[in-house]
Structure 1
């Protein structure tokens, strides 16, 4: 725990840094350059985000103006203003650019006359009559060419910053609704598995009951988590609309299979440590699922998929209703999905498995989402949302160690938020949000004749929180406005189970973020097109273990047009899980005559302790990245990006079981206490779960204690490259886009105990491989679109075998084809309908052979491969 003096000193340092650091939301003036644009028709808010990404242009836009409006498709090389004009066509919106270069999206009255020529799309605002009703002599929001209704303006934000309109120097991947649809997947876990930065090992339905690596054996509900960089499911922060979700099962991971795919608007993936922004768990990164809210109409989705070998049918139904009125919006979405189990006997590579064993469980899920927002006045907006999902899972498991039995679980997840934003003076905005989220897991095991092997067990996790923040401009530099975001957070986390075990903790946090553009388009010079600095810090205090202060710095420099260099450095942490702190699980064992070469008689009376540890401290990490983005002006349509990342993760919580070799193997030296506390030995002896295997002795007679409880001894060091590239070519027969993305790991060092040497576990069974690639070719012509994707997982080694055996690489192909009828038909049933066909693992490639030693004989590595094989799906999406 950090002492009071240290906390005060850190607070003083934070205050000093916040005073002298600089930040601003980017607001770029219009220019005469041309850019390559590739925007599909989509909700206008999403389209503006894409326009920002493709042209480095930020907008001031009131959310209520964007609701229910669809941006037009924009494709080709043109100026930013021409692109914005095309995007806004038919929306009854236009834009203005004030003397400070700020681009404002504003409504236009029917008498507004669209300018022509080079000023097309821009409001010709008299400098003496800006959009400011308080200016002396000016009529409120009156322009020379027409009348604009009064509006309150908001800037668009994405994951990675608390400041509206600010950009993060950290790498952030944004996947739109179209990206998700064109991946051809049926569920959120399937989409997550397409990300090269995600490791399939850990807690997922693919590893449940099939692997003992990466805590996969702690998956009580056959759920699926996210495991960025392979650091563990509990080291990736998962958000829903920017809010934390309650973990499932043992409280050790967020089950993303509970999130309805059809309700998602976009997915934002921050692949950098972010505890300075979001607190605990954001070590490997942050995944934020943004659900739909800005929709006017109805949408029906029907999907049927099946594996071409075996009985693996997947059926999905989604229905969305949305409405938008002048000062508010509402949306409700429902999704149902059911999928059959996958029998090991249906796969040739798993024919050695025991009879009846299933590789994937049967899953059935119902999900519903509701959101509503209302402007109470010109300055105050209130919003609320609610989410409920229930999933049933059933899987037959059998091994050489146990008879065939049903593993059955039911998971419920529900929650909601209630909040308000208040627009203050000088573009400042305050926000207050209360959130609640609960997860309930019921688990039971039955023999095939439905005989219960044990009574059902129920586990509940919950979190409720209150967040408040304010952000706005502090002052102006020559490069733009300096902005600050500051706020506080209070959260209570809870966990209970059917054994009446109860845990709770209170978390208090205070955070601040500053962002400064020293150089922008307003004051650029040769060799320095843009220079931006970001500084953030967060203080968190936990009621059960102490405090953490985490800073983060980011710098972005563009020396020439089209080239950007960026870097970040920060610290991150993960709070101990309740199950890790749980001392009710402690067991003691007493052994006599344990071999000890250092003992005079060659043996030692040893006490052994296992289980949780209430004295655990948080895991800590130092992360840094360095990246290059290149969009050459001379090669329109080309975009390249490379990011180096380095994560040093210390004080990791783990337990190592050692017994009769504890004195012989030097790696176990840090576990030994040669002067054990008699009171602790007496406690071990009194526990009903403890065992005495040294007749004639008691625990207090032990000469040495091997403390093998959970401890902060492990460490991990991961480094590598993320890379991506795309190139678009427009032709008379459509637009062609070539993409490639991947991750290459240099090392994955793991050290479980302080007294052992770190070992590189990269490219071994059950661990991440060095290279994962995903690339493809997409083609779009009028209302047709196709996407051919190639997935590659590199070869690795099976170090469990003697001699070491090789594991082959794995290459699969996916093909997705879709057609949008648009308004090309007079049939109301067919108009605005998208028909899609997808074939995943098109050539039905089996996963590489790996000899199984888990007692299941499935003969593949479930951490790095999928047993599903080729699946063909047909989907209809109808907008009413």
Structure 2
């Protein structure tokens, strides 16, 4: 076994250090053990710092993912590996269809992807959204040397966005030769295939003073529909009355085949009474009326992607040239074209106060009679008679005749960087660089429906052959019964749309680093000082239909245009205090500070102080305090109002036991906000998703965080090859930027269960329909109360030689363990209200993605001659529905109160056929584990598909040829 350390040549600004021990994820060593290892110790830059030094001391918790991990997992996209790290909560990925936007993100500590700064070679990279996040699809996994993860806040070192930490991708930039590789990936069902082909070529020039490296990649991912798996065939919902044994589709044990109240036969909310005494709840194909039952709900699941298709072209070039002994020029260029479609069920057309003609032949006689009784004076002649129309209070029509809604996100992005670095003399060096990046996102939407044209086409003449308003070529639209819409009507109401987002970023920075001499007799004092200028500009231009709100299927949105720039000055110091003394083999302090002047948020400070202490050579202790800040991004400041449909529970519906019990204060407030008298706790909300209105706030100010980390690194001389790190982290974010109240579900909860004040900002954000259902909830951006998280990370690595193997010469075994214990994860939407949402160990509509209290990865790798075998075990602790902690419900109130612990095992191999050819392959989720079925508290596909594998066992095989 060999301990591998590397230093990227040249740049003092480039993040380095940490070690890769064996394959997989390892911790960073704060200190070397006296070792038998073959190692050349060079001057390196410690991850999380810009100071060049001769040791690997790091006051912040660090993890390193080696290049081997991407190969052993068969990862085509970077997020496939990062999402499984215990320090992360999965962000968007290949199964994020709704919600989703075609990007892949990383979310450290579950604090939000916009609070995780993603760097490439220590510098800011391509932004994919107006929130400033990086699409991991734009980073080629094959070109990665390693990934360095610093958790616990790093704003003082790297600036805003590093509230939760930094993920830095160190890329191969000094390549010689040609390497071509290809990989095929499929499931045991023979579907959801993935293809990947890439080539890397490079060489030295000018007698070795320069090197150029070129990388090209093509990747394709095929679609898989939710209907292609029994697990996700039906959209499941909660119903405790269903006590049947659960079948293979998840139906039973409190779950039913649910779905949407927007149905092909048209759902009527609050409809008139039919002659037979039933309420008009829906329409039969012949236009007659019938009551609506839960069995009528529309199953939208089969029309959604379980794996999003993707097609990606990528090219990257890097070069450096040593002009003279003091100046080296380097450059990077990247181009990415990424296409990711999304597909949703046909448009659910929900419309209020829909005007119809009771005499229309679209209606059978029973409906005509019922509608005749609710005519109003629509022609304004002062008389209600047969010449007047009627209004249906609210309807939901699933437009299956119009086909599924389809979206195609095409992101064309490029980035160029040029820089100079070198030695100044006397141990001092410099690094100056400038980068420009641009992303053009074209989103094409198909098969939506115009609200205004829908209303125009439904209102027809008495004979049903023409629209009462026949302008613009109106064709009569018969939505009153499944299958009744003509192609002419589809042609009139169908709309497509094109949205364009343009993002430009510029970054100029200069750094000088070196030593100030030995002040204490313990070693050279390190110093790095620098300046940075950043400018972000972006514009989202929605299609005219979306901007006007004249859409029924896709989320309407207004333009978002804005930008900011910032001038920043920063400095770091590493101050050795004691070395080689009893109980003080090494003692060193570190300091950092950054001043930033934002054109939007004004002046802000961030700073850090840390201490590392090694009482003996085998043990090093480390601690750090950081004051981190994050200025609001373009989206948070300037987003035009847009709608979305998150999962939420209406406290006034029969889903709330307090409402059913007749809580007087709750009943009074529900009625004051629009629930008809006597209906509180008596109605079932129309859908598990509730429409939210989201938008920017130019009055936002920066959020700040206090971060404490304490840890130890153990490298015992008596056990060569063993390293253990344990770190405690505690992060508190004040004035956190989020949606009002923390989201739609929180707003409803705070209004009805906590504040219970009609005049409060939370209750005023809620509007209801005439039948009592929530219509919309305004959840604009705001500086909310607090976000807190705390926990412990444990990392262990050990390597040993053994005598057995398939080939002569024995084998080496490497064990790598990374685990996290989440002690606390809570959100306080409003400090004055005092509501605290505890999210550790939970899942659901309030807390979102599961956050298991305990989770770990254990990779065991055997290397024997040309063969390498590796087994990875990923374990996730059980989690409970957040309504138990935060909603006052008991486990007996919920059909799925907990999701059990999950074990995933992945097996892989590499085999060097000869010095030019390597074969590799493996299987992920080899036991084909399926997640627990989830009803109303799911994200999508009856589970959380970025956390739990809903697709099944995958097989991959690849080859790599080197010349």
Cα pair 1:739 1:775 within 8 Å, conserved = yes
State the match for 1:436 in structure 2: 436
Q: Gapped runs of 5+ residues in structure 1? A: 1-35, 59-75, 88-102, 105-154, 210-216, 588-594, 677-683, 685-689, 695-705, 823-830
Aligned counterpart, 1:206: 95
Superposition map of 1:573-584 within 5 A = 573-582=629-638, 584=640
Deviations 1:473-495 (A, max 9, x none): 11113121111100100011011
Name the CA shift for 1:640/1:668 in 2 (closer, same or farther; >3 Å).
Answer: farther
Alpha-carbon spacing, 1:659–1:368, altered in 2? closer, same or farther (3 Å): closer
In 2, distance between residues paired with 1:323 and 1:609?
54
Partners of 1:837 and 1:586 in 2: how far apart?
Answer: 44
Pairing 1:239-318 to 2, within 5 Å after superposition: 239-251=119-131, 253-318=133-198
Cα separation, 2, equivalents of 1:350 and 1:422: 57
Q: Could you list the runs of 5+ residues in structure 2 that have no partner in the other structure?
A: 22-26, 236-300, 349-397, 449-486, 543-558, 644-663, 675-691, 771-776, 804-809, 884-890
- Residue correspondence of structure 1 range 448-527 to structure 2 within 5 A: 453-476=495-518, 477-499=520-542, 501-520=560-579, 524-527=580-583
Counterpart-to-counterpart distance in 1, 2:667 and 2:949: 49
Question: 1:810 touches 1:848 (CA, 8 Å); kept in 2?
Answer: no
Compared with structure 1, are the counterparts of its residues 574 and 802 closer, same or farther at alpha carbon in structure 2 (3 Å cutoff)? Answer: farther
RMSD: 3.6
Q: CA separation in 2, counterparts of 1:236 and 1:659?
A: 26
Say if 2:361 is the partner of 1:361.
no
> Alpha-carbon deviation of 1:849?
2.0
User: In 2 relative to 1, CA 563–670 (structure 1 residues): closer, same or farther, beyond 3 Å?
Assistant: farther
Q: How far 1:252 moved relative to its partner?
A: 5.1
TM-score normalised by length of structure 2? 0.68
Q: 1:668 to 1:459 in 2, by over 3 A?
A: farther
Aligned residues: 704
Shift of 1:716: 1.2
Contact map agreement 1:381 1:421 (CA 8 A) in 2: yes
Partners of 1:495 and 1:578 within 8 A in 2: yes
CA distance, structure 2, for counterparts of residue 818 and residue 609 of structure 1: 51
- Asked if the contact 2:594–2:607 (Cα under 8 Å) also holds between the matched residues in 1, the reply is yes
1:501-555 alpha-carbon deviations (Å, 9 max, x no partner) = 43111111100000022233xxx02211111111001111110121210111111
Deviations 1:31-69 (A, max 9, x none): xxxxx74449999999997499998789xxxxxxxxxxx
Q: Which residue of 2 aligns with 1:193?
A: 83
The question of whether the paired residues in 2 share the 8 Å contact of 1:203 and 1:233 is answered with no
Give the Cα–Cα distance (whole angstroms) in 1 for the partners of residues 344 and 619 of structure 2: 54
2:406 is the counterpart of 1:350? no
SS in 1 for 2:142: helix
Give the corresponding residue for 1:745.
822
Contact 1:168 1:554 in 2 (8 A): no
- Compared with structure 1, are the counterparts of its residues 205 and 480 closer, same or farther at alpha carbon in structure 2 (3 Å cutoff)? same
8 Å CA contact retained: 1:275, 1:550: yes
Q: Structure 1 CA distance, aligned partners of 2:526 and 2:5? A: 32
C-alpha contact 2:405 2:445 (8 A) present in aligned 1:
yes
Q: Is the 8 A contact 1:251 1:461 kept in 2?
A: no
How many angstroms apart in 2 are the aligned matches of 1:859 and 1:247?
A: 31
CA distance in 2, matches of 1:558, 1:659: 49
Could you say which residue in structure 1 is the equivalent of 2:360? none
Q: Could you say if the C-alpha distance between residues 604 and 372 of structure 1 is closer, same or farther in structure 2, counting changes exceeding 3 Å?
A: closer
SS of residue paired to 2:69: helix
Structure 1 distance, partners of 2:778, 2:942, is 36
Aligned counterparts of 2:535 and 2:5: Cα–Cα separation in 1: 42
Residue deviations 1:642-664 (CA, integer Å, cap 9, x gap): 11111111211222459999875
Cα distance change, pair 610–789 in 1 and its aligned pair in 2 (3 A):
closer
Aligned residue number for residue 740 of structure 2: 655
Question: Quick check: 2:438–2:502 contact (8 Å CA) kept in 1?
Answer: yes
In structure 1, C-alpha distance between the alignment counterparts of 2:756 and 2:961, rounded to whole Å: 62
- Higher CA-based Rg: 2
- SS state at 1:475 partner: coil
Match of 2:222 in 1: 340
Once the two structures are overlaid, the 10-residue window that deviates more, 276-285 or 658-667, is 658-667
Once the two structures are superposed, the pairs formed by residues 519-668 of structure 1 within 5 Å of their partners are 519-520=578-579, 524-582=580-638, 584-585=640-641, 611-653=695-737, 654-656=739-741, 657=744, 665-667=753-755
Quick one: structure 1 residues 487 and 360, their matched pair in 2 at CA, closer, same or farther if it must change by over 3 Å? same
1:705-763, CA deviations, whole angstroms, 9 ceiling, x for partnerless residues? x9963211232111111111122221222111222211110111111223132121222
- 246 and 670 in structure 1: CA distance in 2 versus 1, 3 angstrom threshold: farther
In structure 1, the partner of 2:786 is 715
1:734 aligns to what?
811
TM-score (norm 1): 0.74
Per the alignment, residue 200 of structure 2 pairs with: 320
Distance 1:259 1:789, change over 3 A: same
CA contact (8 A) 2:73 2:81 kept: yes
**Residue 672 of structure 1 corresponds to which residue in structure 2?**
760
Q: 1:255 to 1:693 in 2, by over 3 A?
A: same
Tell me by how many angstroms 1:832 deviates: 2.4
Change (3 A) 1:515 1:261: same
Counterpart for residue 468 of structure 2? none
The 2-side partners of 1:204 and 1:784 are apart by 32
CA–CA distance in structure 1, aligned partners of residues 538 and 696 of structure 2: 15
CA contact (8 A) 1:798 1:850 kept: no
User: 2:954 maps to which residue?
Assistant: 871
Greater CA drift, 755-764 or 534-543: 755-764
**Structure 1 residue 245, shift from structure 2 partner:** 2.4
Contact 1:852–1:860 (8 Å) recurs in 2: no
Distance 1:414 1:533 in 2: 40
CA deviation map 1:306-346 (0-9, x unaligned): 11125111110010111123211100001111011122122
